[in-house]
Structure 1
Amino acid sequence: MNLRYVFQAAFLLLALDASAQKKSTSSQPIPRPKLVVGIVIDQMRWDYLYRYQDRYTDGGFKRLLNEGFTAENTNIDYVPTVTAIGHSTIYTGSVPSIHGIAGNDFIIQSTGKSMYCTEDTASKTVGSPSKAGEMSPRNLLSNTMTDELKLATNFRSKVIGIAIKDRGGILPAGHSADAAYWFDDQTGNWITSTYYMNELPQWVQNFNNQKLPKKYLDQNWKTLFPLDTYLQSEKDDSRFEAKFSGTTAPVFPHETSSMYDRDFSILRTTPQGNTITLDMARAAIENEKMGQRDITDFLAVSLSSTDYIGHRFGPNSIEAEDTYLRLDRDLSAFLSYLDSKVGKGAYTVFISADHGAAHNPNFLTSHNIPSGIFPTSAVTKELNAYLAQEFKQERLVLSLMNYQISLNNSLIEKNRLDEDAIKKACIKHLQKRADIAYVVDMEAASQASIPQGLKEKIINGYNRERSGAVQIILKPGYYSGSSTGTTHGTWNPYDTHIPFVLMGWGVKHGSTNRPTGMTDIAPTISALLRIQAPNGNVGKPVTEALLNEVR
């Protein structure tokens, strides 16, 4: 054989091997958006996407629907439907049975002690002399999609949570977040805890120094449009609404400039609470260079003021309508900011809600729709009196919190009482009430004679260590709460039907009406990012929302 050809072949093989080695050692970026922004709108019923749409701008909710993908039939997979569980479930893809956040507050069943969802006395406040910063995600038992992004990028991705409510910022950001910030009523500052850092970054201090709460509250709350054009709402002076403290009626204009002499808590119950939250989100993106690096970042935002306003005024108020019209404009401005700062098509945004809200029962009754208020305190006393007669022991029921009967387990154990007999007595007694549909032993929910969908929600919501022993299911239209405004917490569609809309990088334009769950949000975003689903995830990705090359 000609030696020249042998040397040429050997040289070619060496060149190919060198090229292969070069390719194998070079960094090939995984296709991902530069930034993910998750926006949870507290207490946003699904129908708010459409109820006020005739006056939404083209750049807010309409843009999300017209450019993005909407899962129109997304429902919550558990009871009770409250803020802390909703935020935890959206970001874990899990349910209270697994992730452990069994309520905003829940009772540790072994001790009878009440625990706030993000309570952590080992963590201290950073940014205020108040105790509002003694918080962390330690009570969350599973990880989040934000944690999984951190793991997938060897913790190079930045993750930040922002919300007026501490739980709305802390739980979505997960265990390994760079930061979570929330609002301090006492000072009007954005604060954090020593779980994350020992000192606020200079940019947060600068943001606080702007004194935006005072600026916004001094503007007072006036309607965007003339009062008589709010056709989706009750009259302004409605008996179904609660007035602000110190005022004579729940009517516009709301003189918020005179409502913050002691602290800034009133900001929570104004549309400007949402505005300042998105201001803070912009500041985080700007100063932390989020979405402007060679790695994917994640900003978890929760808009809390919609919940406070809903609780006080209800879903049929001009206040609620005006809030969503203003929020639509705030979202439009925020999306335009993302276009210019990160790049249109370079980021992914999704919106959802932690729960919905019921119509006020008195409002429904005035229109001949069955409804009512469940008198929790009176029923607790009545139930304890009945059990005292049956078992010769006072205060066997600690609480009906979260529509669950939490028993006094320490007392039951100390006196060697029959727990099963006590549960059966509770069920027998409460089933006689006209406002209750079902009373279910949590441990035997799968055998209860109730609709299958309710069984699943009860089982998913039951955490043996942190939930009560018996679940109360009220009749439709009933809730435990005030006679004015509204609340949430039940299994009904008005509390469980939530929006889930995605837009941007990797997202198709379209919609689906097939049943999807709140637990499907985290695996959908995880699939988009090509990362592992959170370690407690029970949901499935909504693959119809993703471009083929992303699936």
Structure 2
Amino acid sequence: MKNVIIGLLLFCATMSFGQVSLVDQRPKLVVGIVVDQMRYDYLTRYYDKFGDDGFKRLMNDGFNCENAHFNYIPTYTAVGHSAIYTGSTPSVNGIIGNNWYDKSAKKSIYCVDDENYTTVGGDSGGNKSPVRLLTTTVTDELQLTQMKGGKVISISLKDRSAILPGGHMANAAYWFENKFITSTYYMSELPKWVESFNKKDFAQKYLKGKWETLYPIKQYTESIADDNEFEQPYNGQEKPVFPYDLRSLQEANGGNNMIKATPFGNSILIDFAKAAIESEKLGKNNVTDFLAISFSSPDYIGHQFGVDSKEVEDTYIRLDKELGDFLRFLDKQIGDNYTLFLTADHAAVQVPAYLSSLKIPSGYINSAEFKKEVEDFCKTRFGSDHLIEDFSNFQIFLNKEELKRLKLDQNEVSQILADFVIEFNWVLRVVDAKNLQNNLYQDRLMQFLKNGCNQKLSGDVMLIPKPATISHARKGTTHGSGFTYDTHVPILFYGKGIKKGKSRRFIPIVDIAPTISNLLKISYPNGNEGDVIEEALK
């Protein structure tokens, strides 16, 4: 009898312990890393230049999704960060661009602008909030589950890249405007550790010298010649070639903000991330904390110099070393009790002028000229030069009041415009909003377009340019399409709860949020459209 009682007590204790251990299975810290404008092939292209502790550690000791893609158009920064953290496309979460035309306000708006809040820690740049994000994020759901018992901190050089991953319930989001600032949405004054960090002026530490290649430039065989016609020099410089005297270029390129367009923007963000972990004691409590980090500098550098530049190659070689240093820091601070994922908010196209020089089809679009031609057509066809209210993000917005005044049917006008626009040489596909919403598509590109259009917010006629055809200067590059050069990005999982392995199946970016949610044993974001990447989890 005594043995039976002891057995029952042990059983009850085990059951009780099991209930607690479900929570204890969560890592003490989740680190979400987004690298702005990182193509998947950078992992393979520069692999032999990487050390063992950075990207290789994540690829070889973690789980590597080799065929991960964004599953919508447009592939822009704000849209990417929103999809990663909400598990939803713009059709649901409402972030349809970095900027877009607001049909109600009849003006272009910025994704995180909010005049209800003011700057904290600086003179300007802080009137921001996540108000336009319509859904919860994985970070929000963690806060809801833990009754805000843990901390969510989100950092970046760009405001949108800090604000959107943090969701609506972040304890703090910080971004860089000559120093790290925030918004009254989060707090009334900067914490002492942030003030102390800003006083040290790390930007000047990095900008006082030169940007030279980390290794001898002759070893950079994965990129084109340093002196070429496809790159944009810094202001005040004749040619975009190494070495760059940052001290002399700083004044003409935004002061401390110049650091954003150098690899040292990654360095200062790593410094800030370490300070946040130490000062906020992240990962040291009986709950799960979340640190969202977005490296913006690769995007600035990629736009300016292009995919194939030595500047981009050097940036990723340096980022690999700093990532290795950061992982060792996490090992020391958190031990084996953290989970990390690394992805990108979009990739990028090779400079079309460079592709043209190699006889690869590519081209450029003059958006202002295109809009003028559409307006002229409307004046001839419908007798009005006020029918086109806006053209942006390759979407035409019609003037509803003018349609009503002229007693024109919106759907008929949209279809007539679509028939006109398809004749432009640079246009690959065009569809009006009604047909886009009402049709199911086997065509992946058209489904991506549908996923990226919000029925209440998007335009009336949507265009898809031909591959490698962009609206941009002839030097440098951009992104935004649904083609693989813009959609194919890394997804790497590493740490507690993660299996070692890889997958070559198509994995949409919206699968990250439910995967992390499942790992944390929390609800999925409330607009979630993704699925758990089962093979990545133990």
Q: TM-score, normalised by structure 1?
A: 0.93
Moved more, 52-61 or 402-411: 402-411
Deviations 1:179-205 (A, max 9, x none): 000001xxx210000000000000000
CA contact (8 A) 1:84 1:101 kept: yes
Closer/same/farther in 2, CA of residues 353 and 14 from structure 1, 3 Å limit: closer
How many Å apart are 1:447 and its aligned residue? 6.3
Which residue does the alignment assign to 2:170? 177
Q: Name structure 2 gaps, 5 residues minimum.
A: none
2:137 corresponds, among 140, 144, 157, to: 144
Closer/same/farther in 2, CA of residues 12 and 321 from structure 1, 3 Å limit: closer
Closer/same/farther in 2, CA of residues 439 and 23 from structure 1, 3 Å limit: closer
Closer/same/farther in 2, CA of residues 470 and 338 from structure 1, 3 Å limit: same
Q: Name structure 1 gaps, 5 residues minimum.
A: 1-7
CA contact (8 A) 1:446 1:455 kept: no
Residue 307 of structure 2 corresponds to residue 315 of structure 1: yes
Closer/same/farther in 2, CA of residues 482 and 294 from structure 1, 3 Å limit: same
How many Å apart are 1:16 and its aligned residue? 6.2
> Aligned partners of 1:42, 1:86: CA distance in 2, in Å?
9
Which residue does the alignment assign to 1:247? 237
Deviations 1:458-513 (A, max 9, x none): 11111122211111111112111111111000110000011100010000110011
Structure whose CA Rg is larger: 1
CA contact (8 A) 1:241 1:485 kept: yes
Moved more, 355-364 or 404-413: 404-413
Closer/same/farther in 2, CA of residues 202 and 364 from structure 1, 3 Å limit: same
Matched residue count:
534
> Aligned partners of 2:156, 2:377: CA distance in 1, in Å?
43
> Aligned partners of 1:243, 1:282: CA distance in 2, in Å?
32
Residue 469 of structure 2 corresponds to residue 478 of structure 1: yes
> Aligned partners of 2:147, 2:342: CA distance in 1, in Å?
27
Which residue does the alignment assign to 1:510? 501
> Does the residue aligned with 2:315 lie in a helix, a strand or coil?
helix
Which residue does the alignment assign to 2:58? 64
> Aligned partners of 1:66, 1:434: CA distance in 2, in Å?
45
> Does the residue aligned with 2:517 lie in a helix, a strand or coil?
helix
Closer/same/farther in 2, CA of residues 171 and 209 from structure 1, 3 Å limit: same
> Does the residue aligned with 1:525 lie in a helix, a strand or coil?
helix
Deviations 1:303-339 (A, max 9, x none): 0000000000000111010100010011010001000
1:383 corresponds, among 374, 383, 388, to: 374
Closer/same/farther in 2, CA of residues 410 and 312 from structure 1, 3 Å limit: farther
CA contact (8 A) 1:93 1:538 kept: yes
Residue type matched to 2:331 in 1?
D
Closer/same/farther in 2, CA of residues 26 and 64 from structure 1, 3 Å limit: closer
Residue type matched to 1:67 in 2?
D
Deviations 1:435-476 (A, max 9, x none): 111111122126679752123211111112221111111111
Residue 408 of structure 2 corresponds to residue 417 of structure 1: yes
Which residue does the alignment assign to 2:325? 333
Which residue does the alignment assign to 1:3? none
> Aligned partners of 1:148, 1:454: CA distance in 2, in Å?
31
Instruction: Supply the RMSD in Å over aligned alpha carbons.
Output: 2.1
Moved more, 375-384 or 157-166: 375-384
How many Å apart are 1:92 and its aligned residue? 0.3
How many Å apart are 1:376 and its aligned residue? 1.2
Moved more, 280-289 or 21-30: 21-30
Residue 86 of structure 2 corresponds to residue 92 of structure 1: yes
Q: TM-score, normalised by structure 2?
A: 0.95
How many Å apart are 1:91 and its aligned residue? 0.2
Closer/same/farther in 2, CA of residues 449 and 157 from structure 1, 3 Å limit: closer
> Does the residue aligned with 1:264 lie in a helix, a strand or coil?
helix
Deviations 1:406-428 (A, max 9, x none): 22334334554332232122212
How many Å apart are 1:265 and its aligned residue? 2.2
Q: How many percent identity over aligned positions?
A: 45
How many Å apart are 1:115 and its aligned residue? 1.4
Residue 156 of structure 2 corresponds to residue 163 of structure 1: yes
Residue type matched to 1:80 in 2?
P
> Aligned partners of 2:248, 2:132: CA distance in 1, in Å?
38
1:46 corresponds, among 32, 40, 46, to: 40
How many Å apart are 1:24 and its aligned residue? 5.4
CA contact (8 A) 1:110 1:410 kept: no
> Aligned partners of 2:498, 2:91: CA distance in 1, in Å?
31
1:201 corresponds, among 191, 203, 211, to: 191
Closer/same/farther in 2, CA of residues 429 and 106 from structure 1, 3 Å limit: same
